[in-house]
């Protein structure tokens, strides 16, 4: 399509990656970008950090301007210009200048929709009260900073425990506000499984954030008499009333598909634009990318909405390639993501256990708590690592990790392994870099592979933390093999204590007519005990992740 006319609707990640790639493929094409907002290329993932002051200069968020894009890529970028209709039959769009109100028609050979997503706005009474803010663009950030400063806000309520909600809670604490986070689900950060999200619950509370889980907002009411400057009293379903000087709305997003729907393009069951692997819609002259589209989950294969910047950038590149005859395919989204929350990092990739269970696919779930780097080198800290793999052949299906250090590195390795179709046997054999400040000779990824191999090879059977409440004491004994000092700090109720070094000498204290579920602090010593006991004729299972995972999960169990 050299020399053809491309119109891109929407900037930021998907639209601008399409336009820039298109220019690199063709110097002759005419490329016009329409952006209804004031900024065509900004770092929306950086907005919370600008609000909190970690990013001090507002201009750092503005990655490119119409002038810089004209100079670098010869793009015709028109901000504050909205595309209001598509005439597919004549390949034209109607655009409106939002400053002057004038409308005009523009012809296209190829049209790329990067209309993004809009904040969810459920029908909650009082939602539109003054002092309530989404966090989607630079003007939103400006308004939040101004409201906090001018209103001398002291109490903030963040509604929603997703990425934006958690990042905003952290940054509002950094600004010195008293922060409450409200989440309708029993956990924050839904891509994590409950026991992994529980580490984030503890971190929020440790930093003074009041946490209301499984308790959705029922209404936003006017402040009580004498609460000058307050935004709302946030009323929860439980009846709790939370006075707020500012309310941050992190309720999630939905694809912005009004333009596509009005043009008769196919919309999927989840409400996103339906595209093929070339990012092409049902109209051969129209492509769509970014948060507005439904994508195939790379592990589970079903359609999903995964609004992430990395996939949007790749989709834009693939759309441009196909427009110019370079056949490339988008092979699906793994959902790889990372979050910083105070001192913790949480990251995930692939399918979580909740999704695998719903899909009916047989799987195994493994927990371990390896050190972030060599234990003898100062500063090592445990990583809570969860790996999910196919029960029949060990194919890697997903992974999650939470810790203070080394989390993103391990999830990035596991995301690469997922993309490559590796098994847990491959994880055990990966040759990863090692020096004491960075890792161990057996990296946590290697250890996860080795532990999974032990399961597949029949050396150990696993028990999960959420099985314990349902075990019949007449049929099952829970055995704690930790040291006496560890047990005094806390233990699983009803468990029997025999420290690992004493186990061989005290085998006659164990029943042979009941199953034994063995636990330690993290799962390694309990594995050693399982091997010992199974070779002596006992029926045993290892509590994967052991006491650390069980203890962390109790916050979610209580919320549920």
Could you give the residue range(s) of every CATH 3.40.250.10 domain in the chain?
A: 462-559
Burial class (CB in 10 A: 0-12, 13-18, 19+), 441: exposed
Which tens digit of pLDDT belongs to each residue from 474-524? 999 999 999 999 999 999 999 999 999 999 999 999 999 999 999 999 999
List 523's β-bridge partners, or say none. Answer: none
Q: Give, in degrees to the nearest 5, the angle at Cα 74 between 69 and 79.
A: 50
d(CA 295, CA 310): 13
CATH topology (fold) of 343-456: FAD/NAD(P)-binding domain (3.50.50)
Rounded mean pLDDT of the chain?
Answer: 94
pLDDT at 1 over 70: no
Lowest mean pLDDT across 414-418, 491-495, 553-557: 553-557
Residue-wise burial string across 272-286, b where 16 or more C-beta atoms lie within 10 A, e elsewhere:
bbbbeeebbbebeeb
Which tens digit of pLDDT belongs to each residue from 332-379? 999 999 999 999 999 999 999 999 999 999 999 999 999 999 999 999
Could you give the residue range(s) of every CATH 3.50.50.60 domain in the chain?
A: 5-117+254-323, 132-251, 343-456
Q: What is residue 230's predicted lDDT score, i.e. its pLDDT? A: 82
List 64's β-bridge partners, or say none. Answer: 41
Separation of first and last alpha carbons in the chain: 55
Q: Enter the tokens of residue 400.
A: 């999650």
Q: Which CATH class is domain 5-117+254-323?
A: alpha beta
What long-range pairs does 144-150 form, CB within 8 A, spacing at least 24?
A: 144/51, 144/246, 144/248, 145/50, 145/51, 147/246, 148/175, 148/177, 148/246
Residue 220 near residue 233, CB atoms below 8 Å: yes
The domain 462-559 is placed in CATH, from the list 3.40.50.1700, 2.60.120.10, 3.40.800.10, 3.40.250.10, at: 3.40.250.10
Angstrom CA distances, 381 to 199, 241, 368, 384, 505, stand at: 14, 38, 13, 10, 33
Which tens digit of pLDDT belongs to each residue from 111-162? 999 999 998 999 999 999 999 999 999 999 999 999 999 888 999 999 999 9
pLDDT tier, 556 (very low <50, low <70, confident <90, very high otherwise): confident
SS3 call for 173: helix
Q: Which residues are catalytic?
A: 45
Which CATH architecture does the domain made up of 132-251 adopt? 3-Layer(bba) Sandwich (3.50)
pLDDT tier, 411 (very low <50, low <70, confident <90, very high otherwise): very high
* Dihedral sign, Cα of residue 34, residue 36, residue 39, residue 41: negative
Q: pTM of the full predicted structure?
A: 0.94
């Amino acid at each position: 399509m050299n020399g053809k006319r491309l119109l891109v609707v929407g900037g930021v990640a998907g639209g601008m990656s399409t336009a820039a790639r298109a220019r690199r493929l063709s110097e002759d094409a005419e490329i016009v970008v329409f952006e209804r907002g004031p900024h065509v290329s900004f770092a929306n993932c950086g907005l919370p950090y600008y609000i909190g002051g970690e990013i001090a200069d507002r201009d750092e968020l503005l990655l490119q301007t119409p002038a810089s894009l004209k100079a670098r890529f010869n793009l015709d970028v028109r901000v504050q210009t909205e595309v209001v209709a598509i005439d597919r039959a004549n390949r034209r769009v109607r655009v409106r200048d939002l400053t002057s109100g004038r409308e005009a028609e523009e012809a296209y050979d190829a049209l790329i929709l990067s209309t993004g997503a809009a904040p969810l706005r459920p029908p909650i009474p009082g939602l539109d009260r003054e002092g309530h803010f989404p966090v989607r663009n630079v003007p939103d950030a400006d308004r939040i900073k101004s409201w906090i400063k001018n209103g001398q806000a002291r109490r903030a309520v963040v509604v929603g425990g997703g990425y934006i909600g958690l990042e905003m809670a952290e940054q509002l604490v950094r600004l010195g506000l008293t922060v409450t986070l409200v989440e309708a689900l029993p956990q924050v950060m839904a891509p994590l499984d409950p026991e992994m999200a529980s580490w984030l619950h503890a971190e929020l509370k440790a930093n003074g954030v009041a946490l209301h889980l499984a308790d959705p907002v029922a209404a936003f009411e006017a402040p009580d008499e004498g609460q000058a400057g307050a935004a709302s009293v946030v009323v929860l379903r439980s009846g709790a009333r939370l006075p707020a000087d500012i309310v941050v709305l992190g309720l999630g997003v939905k694809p912005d598909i009004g333009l596509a729907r009005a043009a008769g393009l196919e919309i999927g069951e989840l409400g996103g634009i339906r595209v093929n692997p070339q990012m092409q819609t049902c109209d051969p002259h129209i492509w769509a990318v970014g948060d507005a589209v439904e994508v195939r989950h790379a592990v589970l294969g079903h359609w999903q909405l995964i609004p992430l910047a990395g996939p949007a950038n790749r989709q834009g590149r693939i759309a441009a390639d196909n427009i110019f005859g370079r056949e490339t395919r988008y092979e699906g989204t793994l959902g790889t993501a990372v979050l910083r929350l105070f001192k913790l990092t949480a990251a995930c990739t692939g399918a979580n256990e909740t999704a695998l269970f719903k899909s009916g696919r047989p799987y195994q779930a493994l927990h371990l708590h390896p050190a972030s780097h060599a234990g003898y080198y100062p500063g090592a800290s445990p990583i809570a690592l969860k790996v999910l793999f196919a029960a029949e052949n060990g194919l890697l299906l997903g992974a999650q990790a939470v810790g203070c250090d080394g989390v993103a590195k391990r999830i990035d390795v596991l995301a690469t392994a997922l993309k490559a179709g590796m098994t847990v046997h491959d994880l055990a054999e990966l040759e990863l870099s090692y020096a004491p400040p960075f890792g161990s000779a057996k990296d946590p990824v290697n250890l996860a592979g080795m532990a999974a191999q032990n399961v597949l090879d029949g050396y150990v059977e696993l028990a999960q933390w959420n099985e314990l409440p349902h075990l019949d004491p007449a049929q099952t004994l829970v055995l704690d093999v930790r040291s006496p000092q560890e047990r005094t700090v806390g233990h699983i109720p009803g468990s029997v204590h025999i420290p690992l070094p004493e186990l061989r000498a005290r085998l006659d204290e164990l029943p042979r007519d009941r199953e034994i579920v063995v636990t330690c602090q993290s799962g390694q010593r309990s594995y050693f005990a399982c091997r010992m006991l199974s070779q002596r004729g006992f029926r045993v299972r290892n509590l994967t992740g052991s006491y650390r995972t069980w203890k962390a999960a109790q916050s979610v169990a209580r919320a549920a």
